[in-house]
Every structure is written in structure tokens, then in C-alpha cells.
Structure 1
Amino acid sequence: MTADAPHPSVGSRATDRPGDVSPFALGLLLRRAHWRVAGAMTEALRPLGIELRHFAVLLVLVDRGPTVQRDLGPATGSDKAGVMRVVDDLERMGLAVRRPVPGDRRVRAVEITPRGLELFDAAHLAARPPAERLVAGLEAGEREQLTELLTRFAHPPEDDKA
């Protein structure tokens, strides 16, 4: 088969336009939705002086409590160096602190500060208007349906068994 001859079973090329039925359609739509939501949340967080990457770490700290720094990477989808930079930023801003872990002097746990909790709460208030605008075009019940479907998709039952 040559590079300029399409495979016989390919009906159309993958796009992210409405109606795309390619095997990539779901991923492409989720990517576009992510960009849209991330842009809105970035704008909501900007006046607070933080970025989504900072908020992601604060979210984990609120959810889990003090967390070993190496565990923040997998929890936020970031690499080791990226997490280190974010935690450095959060410490500089007074939003988090690193504390020694008893029994292992090489390991540090990251903990949210009272100021970090205040900012976390302020971020939720700031995010409410853009979040409402994002779903304004949905009909009654569709927001809940979208949330329920995405929750099931992101957290399949087999993940609960791990």
C-alpha cells in the first residue's frame, strides 16, 4: 500500500467536528471540551495569582491532607520537575509548606496553609460564573446528565477494584 492511497476501510478522516464517527471522535471532543473549560478556569484563577497547575496541587492537598511530594505527580498528571516547581511557587506564595516526614529525613510532605485554604475557597467562588456560562446552552437536566456520564467515564467500576 502506498502513502497516497487510502486504506480501503477508511471512510473519512478524523476531525473534531460535530458528527465525526471516527474511532478518535470521543477523544477529540474531550480534548476540545478540556481546552474550553481550562481556558475559562484559567481566567477565573488569574486574578487570584495562581494557575490551574497550582490549583491542581491545592485540590489534592485539600482532598488528601499532607501528601508526600512524589505522590503529587501522579495525582495531578504532572512530572516530578513540574510538581517541584509548582510546590516551590505555592511555598513562595505562602499557600503550602513542605514538612519532614517522621522516620524518613529524605522525604517531605506538602501541606496546605490556612492562606492556601482561603485561596482554595476563593477560587471556587471565582470559578462559579464561568462554570455557569460553560453549561448555559444545556437544557434542563443535561448538566447533571453530562456530569454523571463523565464521572462514570472517568471513574469506571474496574478502577474501584484496584
Structure 2
Amino acid sequence: MTADVPHARSAPRATDRPGDASPFALGLLLRRAHWHAAAVMTEALRPLGIELRHFAVLLVLVERGATVQRDLAAATGSDKAGIMRVVDDLERKGLAVRRSVPGDRRVRAVEITPAGVELFDAAHVAAEPVAERLVAELGPGEAEQLTHLLTRFAHPAADEA
């Protein structure tokens, strides 16, 4: 049995190479850009003993304060098991703690520790030189333009406010 799939041969095939005109091109390029940026940022975080997934949770905790694990998972694009492993790692390193939530014994909020804030700040210092390398191929003003466009793309509601 054959699936009902359009067989239009005129549609371009998806790649992530320059000049790709397929409807998947943007998503594939963003995926490739993410891999590149993640590799560079991982290099900055490695000497601090954390990974990008740890930093993502610390970022949410710095921004929001104590946050329940379910909300951490949603904010970082993680699943329940994944966020538990990251929080376990952060607790072992003394960078975060779980605390009871008043009124609900089953829910635990995660809170950044002073050592976590210190490491978060150190990560920014460590990332400066590698972040510059990340955009070294761009011309004057292009890094700011890229940041602006990606911000609008990732947060479309921010334009309406």
C-alpha cells in the first residue's frame, strides 16, 4: 500500500547548505548554527565543570528565582527525567538546592546557591573570548543584527509589547 504523499519533483530537496531554497532550509540552518554555538559555549563551560544543560538551568534560576522542577523542564526544553538528572548534578556540585513548596509536599522548588551564582558569573567571564570567536566571521554590526533577528524570531510576542 502506498501512502498519499505528493510526488512533486519540482520541490527542492532539503539541505542545510548555502542557497538551499527548500521549506526546511531555515530550520536546518538554525539546527546547524545551534550545534556550532553549543560546541563553542561548551568549550567555555568545560573548565568550570558544568555543561550547557547545567548552565541553562542556572540561567532560569537566576532569572526567575526558586522554580519548581516541572517549570524548569518547560523553560529548558527538557523532560522530567532529564531535569531531575541536571538538578541532581547541580545539587552534588553545591550550585542549587531543592526546597519544599509550602502547601504541596510533593512539589520541590529548585533554588540557586551563592556558589551557583558565583559560577554563573564566572561562566560569563569565561564565555567572552569564545563568544567573540563565535562571530569572528561576521562583518561590522552583523553580530548585533543576527542577535536582533534571532531574538525577534525566538520571541515574536516581544515585538507586540
Is 2:146 the partner of 1:146? yes
Change (3 A) 1:138 1:158: closer
**134-143 vs 145-154, greater mean Cα deviation:** 134-143
**Superposition CA RMSD, Å:** 1.9
**1:43-58 matches, cutoff 5 A:** 43-58=43-58
Q: Quick one: distance in 2 between partners of 1:62 and 1:107?
A: 20
Deviation at 1:160, TM superposition (A): 6.5
Matched residue of 1:110: which SS? strand
User: When the two structures are aligned, how many residues end up with a matched partner?
Assistant: 158
> Structure 1: which 4+ aligned runs deviate by more than 6 Å?
158-161
Counterpart amino acid of 2:124? H
**TM-score between the two structures when normalised by the length of structure 2:** 0.92
Q: Quick one: distance in 2 between partners of 1:160 and 1:109?
A: 32
Q: Quick one: distance in 1 between partners of 2:111 and 2:153?
A: 30
Gaps (5+ residues) in structure 1?
A: none
- Where does residue 66 of structure 1 map in the other structure? 66
Q: Quick one: distance in 2 between partners of 1:159 and 1:77?
A: 23
CA contact (8 A) 2:152 2:159 kept: no
- Where does residue 137 of structure 1 map in the other structure? 137
Deviation at 1:37, TM superposition (A): 0.2
Encode CA deviations 1:80-100: one digit per residue, 9 max, x unaligned. 000000000100000000011
- Where does residue 84 of structure 1 map in the other structure? 84
Deviation at 1:10, TM superposition (A): 2.8
Deviation at 1:32, TM superposition (A): 0.5
**100-109 vs 36-45, greater mean Cα deviation:** 100-109
Gaps (5+ residues) in structure 2?
A: none
**TM-score between the two structures when normalised by the length of structure 1:** 0.91
CA contact (8 A) 2:67 2:109 kept: yes
Counterpart amino acid of 1:81? A
Change (3 A) 1:154 1:17: same
Counterpart amino acid of 1:88? D
Deviation at 1:70, TM superposition (A): 1.3
- Where does residue 101 of structure 2 map in the other structure? 101
Q: Quick one: distance in 1 between partners of 2:105 and 2:158?
A: 36
